[in-house]
Structure 1
């Protein structure tokens, strides 16, 4: 019998995961097993919110803006959490509010970090007049209360979703600029950064390969904190009528629209407020744990 016949009868080995990938998963699981209960609580809550936001069209019993009953229907029966002032199902709007409020807050935070973090790294690396110009511009923006400035700009530009994201991202990027510039200044003086400059590496390469990996822990922690502030700012603007416009479901505007029920002892307006507070607490729990893990401190 030929060698080819022998080899054709051999069973084909099943594809195995790459060793590096297995070790990475094991390392992540070891870190998560040692996480405190508060961190686990935060991770579970964040995962639940993400599940609700992604699955909103399948989880909500009614469409987002459909009038399905009378105004302020009581809890129970056809409407598990009652209806709002127009007769829209509160449970459905809470579920869709997770997608709208959390999604817009996440996009806004991402944009603020791309803008503020990039400019902060440029200022720290370049120094000189560029650092001075960017620093003074940030000082001017930070001298004006953020919520008041956002109200003025949105009153002028209009409170569309695009304007809301851009305005809050620009105003919030000043805080990101300060942090990224501060932590990057401690790295740009290192020998390996100077060696990269002497090799003729360009500014984007130095930012991406030499500086950014060494300042990621504080930036990731700051991302969680800034997300909370942006999330609360968008909810506050919606409560004041200059945030996400109806009929789009938003937790801030839902509190405002149903606030009159509190005078009758109805806790319905507290549901979207509680959803805002719960997510804020959960994110802060995870950020605190992450800061502890990256600080090098032992239990």
Structure 2
């Protein structure tokens, strides 16, 4: 009796997976760590945010104060941990508002077109023509620097860019045959945007969200450095640099460590975007 060769040959199948680079994994861990710090800062900070722990200001790194003390003798480590709540929290809220608003308006303008598209685009173009730092300074100086004002100001500044990006993507998707079929079927505007346009642009939009998060972190830090950000005794990382800049000549860690915190977060987000998990198809063998 003969045995078929095909029966003894191992079966092959395709398996779909994701390839994550080591750099992307490390950056994700750093971002996750800062997110957890922002959430649990009151539980892990060794001292309250405004407590003066030593009357000897600008102390160097020691076992008692791992990041030294600031210009008033407050623990720098505790202030950086609490500062993460404002830097990460405000930036995340602002980028969420900006991207959700901008993407929604961009998809709507691409689908409706006509006068609505032209009028909205010209208005947001006019808003884009104003330098972001100048617009932020004017709005915050006029209205105040509360958390809600900072968040809305940062969101308004980055809505036009998010709108432009989403609209450019949505215009291309709107020309696809399946969108035309959905329109002929009589689907409503909301269904076309939600079920036909959005799935085709969600990948680039998420990458754009990450980049705008970095821009907002840097702009918030700039505002705080100018004294228009989070107000004392609370502080974000930019405010920590500003209030301790006088100790830079003393090589004070109070200036260096907040800068490292800003750099670690922004660089990690940028590198994570560049190393996003890529879908791959692996051929595997089953005995």
Task: State the aligned residue count.
Answer: 266
Cα distance change, pair 294–208 in 1 and its aligned pair in 2 (3 A): farther
Show the counterpart of 1:42.
27
For 1:242, the equivalent position in structure 2 comes to 228
Shift of 1:150: 0.7
Deviation, structure 1 residue 60:
0.5
1:206 matched residue in structure 2:
192
**Residues 145 and 230 of structure 2 are in contact (CA less than 8 Å); yes or no, is this contact kept in structure 1?**
yes
Quick check: 1:66 aligned with 2:51?
yes
Counterpart selection for 1:180 from 166, 181, 184: 166
Name the residue aligned to 1:278: 264
| Normalised TM-score (structure 1) | 0.84
Check conservation: 2:61, 2:253, Cα contact below 8 A: no
Deviations 1:64-97 (A, max 9, x none): 2222222323331432222212222111011111
Which structure's residues are more often strand, by fraction?
Answer: 2
Deviation at 1:147, TM superposition (A): 0.7
| 1:172-220 Cα shifts (integer Å, max 9, x gaps) | 0111000000000001111221222222222111111111011011001
Q: Mind listing any 5+ residue stretches in structure 1 that lack a counterpart?
A: 1-25
TM-score, normalised by the number of residues in structure 2: 0.88
- The CA deviation string for residues 113-146 of structure 1, in whole angstroms up to 9 with x for no partner, is 1111111111101000010011101111111110
> Are 1:88 and 2:66 an aligned pair?
no
Residue pairs, 1:27-176, within 5 angstroms: 30-31=17-18, 34-70=19-55, 71-176=57-162
Shift of 1:109: 0.2
Q: Which has the higher contact order (CA 8 A, sep 6+)?
A: 2
Query: Which structure 2 residue ranges, 5 or more long, are not aligned?
Result: 1-14, 282-287
Deviations 1:204-248 (A, max 9, x none): 111111110110110010011000001111111011111111111
Paired position in structure 1 for 2:7: none
Aligned in 2, Cα 1:111/1:246: closer, same or farther, shift over 3 Å?
A: same
